[in-house]
Structure 1
Amino acid sequence: MNNVVNLSHKKIEIEKKREREKLNKPDALTIKLWRLSMEIDDLIKKGVLDDSLPPDEIAAIIAHRLGTLISCSEKSVELSEFCCHIIERMNSSRVTGEPA
């Protein structure tokens, strides 16, 4: 009888673990955005490392493009503030390689 109870508990634990894993899986939009982010990073690194483009010039181009993107948003003020917050976090002192 004790074995049946233990197996039942294990089955419940396994089901709970599967449910947690499902909740933690990224959705399709998150995956697409992550891929886009990686492509942008690759372009920036290629521009700086391979094509010897100055990082400040690339930043200026990205800022201009970001301004265009923000202007298309229904909540442009909030998006602009959010972007400023992200830039400030990225620019704060942190260990290199540490996530923003």
Structure 2
Amino acid sequence: MGNIVHLSQKKQERDQKKLHAKKKQPDAQTIRLWRLSMEIDDLIKKGVLDDSLPPDEIAAILAHRLGTLISCCEKPIDLSKFCCNIIERMNSNCITGEPA
């Protein structure tokens, strides 16, 4: 019985090592995008909480800006579908006030 437990622990250790080995550090662009995302979140929270701006008005402004951004990309239809998919996923199982 002790051998089985020992082998199971070794397998778990190997699996953990593989998991950690597969994770790679984010590249510079990913870090810049993450920081931009955090800044946008901060601006939205400030607008809603500090400036008492209605969330639906902020959403309308963001939708308009997103439309401008989509119009600049190479495949606007694909990007539009992708964005809709993300919005639907976030809306389907997100508790109000929960971070994205």
Would the TM-score normalized by the shorter structure come out above 0.5? yes
Structure-2 residue corresponding to 1:38: 38
Work out the number of aligned pairs and report it.
83
Structure-1 residue corresponding to 2:52: 52
Q: Percent identity?
A: 76
Deviation at 1:24, TM superposition (A): 1.8
Mapped to 2, the partners of 1:88 and 1:28 lie a distance apart of 29
Structure-2 residue corresponding to 1:82: 82
Point out where structure 1 has 5 or more consecutive residues left out of the alignment. Answer: 1-12
RMSD (Å), alpha carbons: 2.1
Mapped to 2, the partners of 1:39 and 1:90 lie a distance apart of 19
- Normalising by the residue count of structure 1, what TM-score does the alignment of the two structures yield? 0.73
Residue-by-residue CA offset, 1:38-97 (whole Å, 9 max, x unaligned): 000000000000000000000000000000000000010000000000000111034564
Give yes or no for the alignment of 1:20 onto 2:21. yes
Mapped to 1, the partners of 2:74 and 2:54 lie a distance apart of 33
- Normalising by the residue count of structure 2, what TM-score does the alignment of the two structures yield? 0.73
